[in-house]
């Protein structure tokens, strides 16, 4: 049975079986990636200028430390790679969902940008999650946050 709840992020009443997280938090059972975990547009430039990158067949990960207690995600699905709007939207959804589900396993304190490649559209959500974990492992972003030296 669906539960009628007033969402903290929306003025609308929704019928959703998912738990509504407390303000400022994202829960693994939640269907959305909440704004505290989304990378603001003005921070993309820092990731591209100062960040490092690693790639696999379906995605490229760029990252830079942000000095915060959370990691923020930005996604890029370029029109040059994904010609149709529906393809760009699917690519963004897949990347955000992989991050949302695997966020507890990642270190905090980083700004991450995922850039989709054409192969992303042929992969399932589980395969995208596996690729994200592989990229984060290669980048050294898995596990507990290391103390600054």
How many Å apart are CA 51 and CA 64, to the nearest integer? 5
Helix (H, G, I), strand (E, B) or coil at 8: coil
**pLDDT for residue 16 is more than 70:** no
pLDDT digits (tens, 9 = 90+) for 36-92: 888 888 899 999 999 999 999 999 999 999 988 988 999 999 999 999 999 999 999
**pLDDT for residue 132 is more than 60:** yes
pLDDT given for residue 19 in this prediction: 41
pLDDT digits (tens, 9 = 90+) for 95-114: 999 999 999 999 999 999 99
* H or E, element range at 117: none
Q: pTM for the complete prediction?
A: 0.74
The confidence band for 146, taking pLDDT boundaries of 50, 70 and 90, is low
Helix (H, G, I), strand (E, B) or coil at 68: coil
């Amino acid at each position: 049975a669906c539960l009628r709840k007033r969402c903290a992020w929306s003025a609308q009443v929704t019928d959703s079986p998912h738990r509504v997280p407390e303000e400022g938090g994202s829960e693994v059972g939640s269907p959305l990636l909440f704004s505290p975990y989304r990378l603001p547009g003005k921070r993309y430039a820092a990731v591209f200028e100062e960040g490092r990158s690693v790639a696999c067949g379906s995605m490229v990960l760029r990252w830079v430390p942000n000095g915060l207690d959370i990691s923020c995600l930005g996604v890029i699905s370029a029109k040059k790679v994904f010609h149709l709007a529906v393809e760009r939207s699917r690519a963004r959804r897949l990347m955000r969902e992989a991050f949302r589900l695997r966020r507890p396993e990642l270190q905090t304190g980083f700004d991450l940008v995922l850039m989709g490649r054409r192969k992303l559209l042929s992969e399932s959500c589980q395969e995208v999650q596996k690729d994200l974990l592989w990229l984060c492992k290669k980048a050294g972003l898995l596990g507990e946050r290391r103390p600054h030296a």
